[in-house]
C-alpha cells in the first residue's frame, strides 16, 4: 500500500481535529436511537418465541393429552408431566380421555427453541410474545400448569380474548 507523506495541513492535526469536532457536534442535533424501555417497546415479529401457553379448544376444554412428545422433543429436558384419566364428570374440562394432571416447565432450563410447539400433535402448546419475567428464587421459575394455561373462556372471557387476540392479530398481519 502506498503511503504518501502527510502534507502540511495534515501534519498540523488541527484542521482534521476541527472537522472531526464539527461532525461530533452535529450529532447532538440528530435523532437519538435509544428506546426508553418500559414506556416504549420494540415490536416483535409474529413468530417470536416467548413464554409457553397451553391452549384450549373453542368450548374451553384443555387440549393437552399428556402424550409426552413435547417432553421428548425438548433438547434441554425442561418439560415434565404426569398423565391422568378423565373421569365422567370432568368431560367439560378436558378434550380427550387422557389429560395432564401435573405439567411443569422449568424456565431456567428452557432455551426457547420452539421444538415443543412443533412437536405437539394437538396444537396444545405454543409460544407467545411475552418475556419470562424475573424472580427471586429458582423454585419460582418452575412454572406449573395453572401458570401456563390460557385463561378459560367460560369463566374469564375477557382475559381469554386478550390472550388470543395478540396471536390472531399477528396471524392476520403476516
Site of interaction with another protein (CB under 8 A):
17, 20-21, 23-25, 27-28, 30-34, 36
Q: Which is nearer to another protein, 1 or 23 (CB)?
A: 23
**SS3 call for 80:** strand
- Taking the C-alpha atoms of residue 76 and residue 165, their distance in angstroms, rounded to an integer, is 30
**SS3 call for 103:** strand
Question: In the complex, what is the shortest distance from the CB of residue 10 to another protein, in angstroms, rounded to a whole number?
Answer: 14
DSSP 14-60: HHHHHHHHHHHHHGGGSPP----TTTS-PPPPTT---SEEE-B-TTS
Q: Which is nearer to another protein, 11 or 171 (CB)?
A: 11
Q: Which is nearer to another protein, 21 or 162 (CB)?
A: 21
Q: Which is nearer to another protein, 25 or 155 (CB)?
A: 25
Question: In the complex, what is the shortest distance from the CB of residue 131 to another protein, in angstroms, rounded to a whole number?
Answer: 20
Question: In the complex, what is the shortest distance from the CB of residue 98 to another protein, in angstroms, rounded to a whole number?
Answer: 51
- Taking the C-alpha atoms of residue 103 and residue 92, their distance in angstroms, rounded to an integer, is 19
Question: In the complex, what is the shortest distance from the CB of residue 11 to another protein, in angstroms, rounded to a whole number?
Answer: 10
Amino acid at each position: 500500500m502506498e503511503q504518501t507523506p502527510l502534507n502540511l495541513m495534515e501534519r498540523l492535526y488541527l484542521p482534521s481535529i476541527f472537522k472531526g469536532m464539527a461532525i461530533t457536534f452535529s450529532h447532538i442535533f440528530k435523532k437519538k436511537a435509544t428506546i426508553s424501555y418500559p414506556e416504549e417497546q420494540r415490536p416483535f415479529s409474529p413468530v417470536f418465541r416467548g413464554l409457553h401457553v397451553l391452549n384450549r379448544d373453542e368450548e374451553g376444554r384443555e387440549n393437552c393429552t399428556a402424550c409426552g412428545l413435547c417432553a421428548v422433543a425438548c433438547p434441554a429436558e425442561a418439560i415434565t408431566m404426569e398423565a391422568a384419566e378423565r373421569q365422567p364428570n370432568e368431560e367439560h374440562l378436558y378434550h380427550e380421555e387422557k389429560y395432564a394432571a401435573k405439567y411443569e416447565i422449568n424456565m431456567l432450563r428452557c432455551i426457547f427453541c420452539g421444538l415443543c410447539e412443533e412437536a405437539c400433535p394437538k396444537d396444545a402448546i405454543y409460544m407467545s410474545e411475552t418475556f419470562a419475567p424475573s424472580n427471586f428464587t429458582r423454585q419460582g421459575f418452575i412454572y406449573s400448569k395453572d401458570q401456563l394455561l390460557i385463561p378459560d373462556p367460560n369463566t374469564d372471557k375477557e382475559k381469554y380474548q386478550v390472550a388470543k387476540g395478540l396471536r390472531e392479530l399477528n396471524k392476520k398481519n403476516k
